[in-house]
Structure 1
């Protein structure tokens, strides 16, 4: 090199990227998506192999989808994951696969086996669903260091000698094939389990699930079930129940009252009733009150309740009577909006609640409000029985003229609270407040 060239090289600024400390490079890579982190290997020799020490990896369709897809996606996925896991150095504490749009992933169990040898602690598998094809995850039960586990669209069968995940804190199962007995056994063998979420649409309605988890703090269930038994949940504070069509909700079948007998620490409850079964249930079978008051319940949400259905309304009142320290009540009303209910309006009369006062209720939200007789009577009841009520928020799709008329009618209701304010909002101009709040709360139920 000529003297002029050497002088020019000496005048160039130093290579900042290559001179970064290793710990700074690691922090940068952690903040990047896995695909981009691997691509940093072209920056310099120092960066070339840094990605192999990443402790968290996420694989999704963006890793193999291109404008010119020349290879079969499943082959791309398998080759990609195999290369990542075999070239990786050190522990992998968190691994996420989201491939629900892929046709299949036949080697997924082998990949889990590789992860089990790398100290996997947080495993999330969103697998593709294909009728007649289930992914049996045998290697899953060798991952004994797991702390967080989320599975979707697979089959699991714990071996007879399996002693449980003794470090597991969060368990989320979505459309996972497992018998009720084995599911109950799996839960009971996770001694540190705090957060449990189940979406089990394929569970036969004749089955029941037993929850025996002394450390459990939140429980989120969605699906068809005959009975959920809470046998040992002294720390359970948050419960979300979304009972789908086909669930048995009659008092003599679902044991509605017994479900709450063990929830001594319950603070937040979301209860989605199942319409079809309740519609044919006998009103005289509905419980009037739980065996004892739940003095810790502060928040109660009822999405999609049909006030015209006598049995469902009585179950709602049963819970309201049993939550004397309730502070926040949110109800999304479900009806056809014609203003002509077919249920018994007498259920809401004040004389039926002579023994009830909502002494701590401060905020009420009513979603999908149409202003029919049942809704107005229910609102009248709440106003007359809530001495410290601060705000009542009504969300509706009604036209402005109809909304103003209802608001004027509500303002004439007798209210025991001197400071209560009734607010009526137009849902046509905003997203559903109830839906936003429900989704936020359900996310809170999960640890991650």
Structure 2
């Protein structure tokens, strides 16, 4: 091309090509950037100078400054909030606040008030835990009536004003290590008629939390399970229970009464401390619950100690009570101590009254090839006539010689299902 042709081609392209992009396209670009980088785009073009000020989704986190330069980001945070409050225009539908090492919360009250008046729908406040000095939320939090997702961590939630009737649009609520009046927590859950997902992480509690949520489908709880009481939860399909490691084992706990209300449960996740608590606080564990939970299709047992008879008995009490199980995953902890005898409750003969008619897939994780693990594998293969796949994942320290021995033994086990595939990793 001649020099004159090149000149004409260059002249046909707008000098400020960024400025002709549609507003929606520009907003989508900026919302995919960290806020620090989004603000820096103001130097790209004259028309981009204040575009970041209209973004509906913002995140204040440690990426806003270099924490290596200062251990206390509080002064810088104060300036950032000031500029945000004075320059931002339009609605803010999603806001995330997550800044570790923050010593205090200047202007955070003003920020929450600003969000309450600008259509906030998704609010995340993850505050650094400060023992005995938690940030107290302002009353303006209760005027965020457009909220659909709310996450609060390590803060103090006060009693609401009398005019507060609940978040009637909220579908997801996550509370982690917050301090909240017991009566209000109960009423908060029940006053969210559309609540679909609930996450509670409570290290210590001296009161019982009743869960009344007719639309609730997913519930994750970490803490002392004696402090929760499942009431009206007809749609609950996924339940995850994680007990505190230091949970006291004293007191009685009625396992049957706890599981009775969850008639629609599909997925059940239990960690080892939870199974251990159920085994010890539940008293003498029978072979099965007084009723079957035919709805449970997926069961996850994490860190199950195969060397402890009470834990194994409790785990299989539950498994026997879920006759329609289709998928089961067990992460085992077994140190292959040959001084611990194999457990009779894992023998195939002990399950003469049980057939896992619907079990199609099993995954065993962190295995070492102990006698108890091999008993469990043999039992599941012999009692699962429609089993399609069993995946056995070895612990990282299992030696090659042990692997060969395990594989040889696996080939000897009878399989009730002719289609069963055993994969050892």
Q: TM-score, normalised by structure 2?
A: 0.90
Q: What's the CA shift for 1:33? A: 2.2
Are 2:279 and 2:285, in contact at CA under 8 Å, matched by a contact in 1?
no
Aligned pair 1:167/2:169, yes or no? yes
**1:326 corresponds to:** 325
Are 1:150 and 1:173, in contact at CA under 8 Å, matched by a contact in 2?
yes
Distance 2:159 2:378 in 1: 53
Task: Show CA shifts across 1:383-422 (max 9, x none).
Answer: 1110011221111131111111122112212221112222
Q: Cα distance 1:215–1:284, how it changes in 2: closer, same or farther (>3 A)?
A: closer
Are 2:210 and 2:231, in contact at CA under 8 Å, matched by a contact in 1?
yes
Distance 1:419 1:8 in 2: 71
**1:337 corresponds to:** 336
Are 2:334 and 2:370, in contact at CA under 8 Å, matched by a contact in 1?
no
SS at match of 1:269: strand
Aligned runs of 1:409-448 on 2, under 5 Å? 409-425=409-425
SS at match of 1:318: helix
RMSD (CA atoms): 2.5
In the TM superposition, structure 1's runs of 4+ consecutive aligned residues that sit over 4 Å from their partners are: 7-10, 66-69, 275-280
Aligned pair 1:286/2:288, yes or no? no
Q: What's the CA shift for 1:361? A: 0.7
**2:147 corresponds to:** 146
**2:386 corresponds to:** 388
**2:4 corresponds to:** none
Q: Cα distance 1:129–1:278, how it changes in 2: closer, same or farther (>3 A)?
A: closer
Q: Cα distance 1:92–1:278, how it changes in 2: closer, same or farther (>3 A)?
A: closer
Aligned runs of 1:103-182 on 2, under 5 Å? 103-138=103-138, 139-159=140-160, 161=162, 162-182=164-184
Distance 1:312 1:180 in 2: 32
Are 1:29 and 1:37, in contact at CA under 8 Å, matched by a contact in 2?
yes
SS at match of 1:129: coil
Choose 139-148 or 31-40, whichever is displaced more.
Answer: 31-40
Distance 1:259 1:109 in 2: 40
Q: What's the CA shift for 1:283? A: 8.4
**1:439 corresponds to:** none
Q: What's the CA shift for 1:210? A: 1.1
Are 2:215 and 2:234, in contact at CA under 8 Å, matched by a contact in 1?
yes
Are 1:122 and 1:147, in contact at CA under 8 Å, matched by a contact in 2?
yes
**1:362 corresponds to:** 360
Choose 71-80 or 411-420, whichever is displaced more.
Answer: 71-80
Aligned pair 1:348/2:346, yes or no? yes
Choose 308-317 or 231-240, whichever is displaced more.
Answer: 308-317
Distance 1:144 1:219 in 2: 23
**1:193 corresponds to:** 195
Q: Cα distance 1:114–1:240, how it changes in 2: closer, same or farther (>3 A)?
A: same
Task: Show CA shifts across 1:149-201 (max 9, x none).
Answer: 11111111232523111111001111111244332221111111000111111
**1:23 corresponds to:** 24
Q: Cα distance 1:68–1:302, how it changes in 2: closer, same or farther (>3 A)?
A: closer
Distance 2:235 2:275 in 1: 32
SS at match of 1:17: helix
**2:56 corresponds to:** 55
Are 2:255 and 2:278, in contact at CA under 8 Å, matched by a contact in 1?
no
Gaps of 5+ in 1: 1-6, 426-448
**2:306 corresponds to:** 307
SS at match of 1:41: helix
**1:3 corresponds to:** none
Q: Cα distance 1:280–1:21, how it changes in 2: closer, same or farther (>3 A)?
A: closer
**2:255 corresponds to:** 256
Distance 1:419 1:409 in 2: 19
Q: Cα distance 1:389–1:191, how it changes in 2: closer, same or farther (>3 A)?
A: same
**1:402 corresponds to:** 402
Distance 2:58 2:82 in 1: 13
Are 2:169 and 2:194, in contact at CA under 8 Å, matched by a contact in 1?
yes
**1:81 corresponds to:** 81
**2:208 corresponds to:** 208
SS at match of 1:26: helix
Distance 1:420 1:276 in 2: 29
Distance 1:352 1:375 in 2: 16
Are 1:341 and 1:373, in contact at CA under 8 Å, matched by a contact in 2?
no
Gaps of 5+ in 2: 1-6
SS at match of 2:110: helix
Distance 2:281 2:187 in 1: 35
Are 2:346 and 2:379, in contact at CA under 8 Å, matched by a contact in 1?
yes
Q: What's the CA shift for 1:96? A: 0.4
Distance 1:30 1:351 in 2: 61
